Amino acid sequence: DLWAMPVQRPYNPNAKRIAELMQADLAKVGIKAEIKTFEWGEYRKRLQAGEHQTGMFGWTGDNGDPDNFLHTLLGCDASKNNGGNVAKFCYQPFDELVTKAKTITDQAEREKLYRQAQVIFKEQAPWFTIAHAVQLKPVRKEVIDFKLSPFSRHVFYGVDIK
């Protein structure tokens, strides 16, 4: 089974089409995949419960900290029902690194631990990325000092009109 999200998301505006492309790629290597989808609430519930074989999910980081991805989406605690780790990936060496890193205030040490965790993620490959959102915000030429936020927010502090 190949589960396709039933909704449009910033990081995946057409999950059905992505699923069709993945299905075609899998067929090229002899794997037959049936595309399935459910209403969004049901989809999330069942995906988080681990009922899927292959599923699509995404994440929009909201604070810029590596923990917001690595522990939230790949930590052992997050692999339980209702967690963000829908791959149900739980690998102790990885988990120890990200759990330790989130408690350390020394940024150089945190970076070292997260880099090690990323190597493990690449080697273990519990999931892979297929898309990254590009932000576009139309702004009139009279608006000055409006800046896009990497956290999907609109920050109007300092914005003005000439």
- For each of the chain's 162 residues, which pLDDT tens digit applies? 999 999 998 888 899 999 999 999 999 999 999 999 999 999 999 999 999 999 999 888 778 899 988 999 999 999 987 889 999 999 999 999 999 999 999 999 999 999 999 999 999 999 988 877 777 788 899 999 998 877 777 889 899 999
Give Cα separations from 37 to 83, 96, 161 (angstroms): 20, 34, 45
Tokens of 83: 């967690």
Task: List all residues 6 or more positions away from 73 whose beta carbon is below 8 Å from its beta carbon.
Answer: 59, 84, 85
Name all contacts of 128-135 with Cβ < 8 Å and 24+ positions apart.
Answer: 130/12, 130/18, 130/22, 130/56, 131/11, 131/12, 131/18, 131/58, 132/11, 133/10, 133/11, 133/60, 135/10
| Residue 117 pLDDT | 97
| Residue 59 pLDDT | 85
- For the entire predicted model, the pTM comes to 0.79
Residue 12 DSSP code: B
